[in-house]
Amino acid sequence: MLRVFLTPGWVITAVVVIIFAYTAFTVLAPWQLGKNEATSARNQRIEQAFNTDPVPVGTLVGRDGVVDPDLEWRRVTLDGHYLPDSEVLLRLRPVDHRPAVQGLVPFELDDGSVLLVNRGWLPVEAGQIPEVPPPPTREVTISGYLRRNESVPERAPVTEQDHTQVHGISTEQIADLTGVPLGRDYVQLSEGSPGELDPVPLPKLDAGPYLSYGVQWIAFGIMAPLGLGYFIWAEIRERRREREEEAAAVATTPAPAGGPNGPGDDPDPPRHAGGTREDEEISNAPSPGPPRKRRRRRARYGSGHTDHYRTIAEKNEERF
């Protein structure tokens, strides 16, 4: 039975099942469960930030503008003024499933440090950049959410309709474009602050389908070996049933007519009157042996059965 499962088909199937189960347990399930954990942590951080009153940005962020990951989405206030001549636009980032541009402008604080502020978004119609109202130049107090910087985009900035446009919110890239030294992270303007455009929607506090996906991969990793085990069991059962049917068929097969070795093998064939010496030799021949010996003896002495067709032909001759 073991040789049955050492064929290439069974071996390849077993290897594929083992690799799939290992990948499901060590790669796919942890990947989805990790995303679920990260999303849950982000939602918890956002919820806590929304329930906390805004504080001056200097109490949470230093002059370098570095935002601690645990403080992202905290609400802060900023005192200072915009630098409208250094504004750039973020392109190719839809908002509410609509083409849009977002205004990114440096904001100089009273202590002389500068943070990038995302003022919000405006819809793009027919591929044309809308008229972007400039932010106020006077001293203002604004409020917003602390956000983490993005990596430098692979696509280079472009200039269209007298607007410099970037493909990501990278303060490093924007500082090089504008010549204004910026803190590493930035602030997303909240609704009701001076200089706002349409406010960027806040993320939904939804954990997403990652937990269910992770559980599904674990289930698939368990089901694959179980399925292989079922097919092995079914193969063994089917082969066992075939053996039992063959044994039952052999046991119920009736014995052949005539002698113990089949038709025409009468152990003591009758001796005909007037028989020849050759007939006596045939009659005195030893009892038939195995099938191979029987075939040899028939080829030598001929069959002991009466030729019924020859007898009928002779009777017809006598009649006519």
Give the separation between CA 278 and CA 188, rounded to whole angstroms. 121
Give the separation between CA 73 and CA 67, rounded to whole angstroms. 10
51 or 283: which leads in pLDDT: 51
Taking alpha carbons only, the member of 21, 36, 91, 48 closest to residue 211 is 36
Q: Could you tell me the pLDDT band of residue 32, with boundaries at 50, 70 and 90?
A: very high
Give the separation between CA 73 and CA 148, rounded to whole angstroms. 9
Q: Could you tell me the pLDDT band of residue 247, with boundaries at 50, 70 and 90?
A: confident
Contact 73, 104 (CB under 8 A): no
C-alpha angle 79/121/131, rounded to 5°?
A: 100
- Chain segment 135-150, per-residue pLDDT in tens: 999 999 999 999 999 9
Contact 177, 163 (CB under 8 A): no
- Chain segment 59-86, per-residue pLDDT in tens: 999 999 999 988 999 999 999 999 999 9
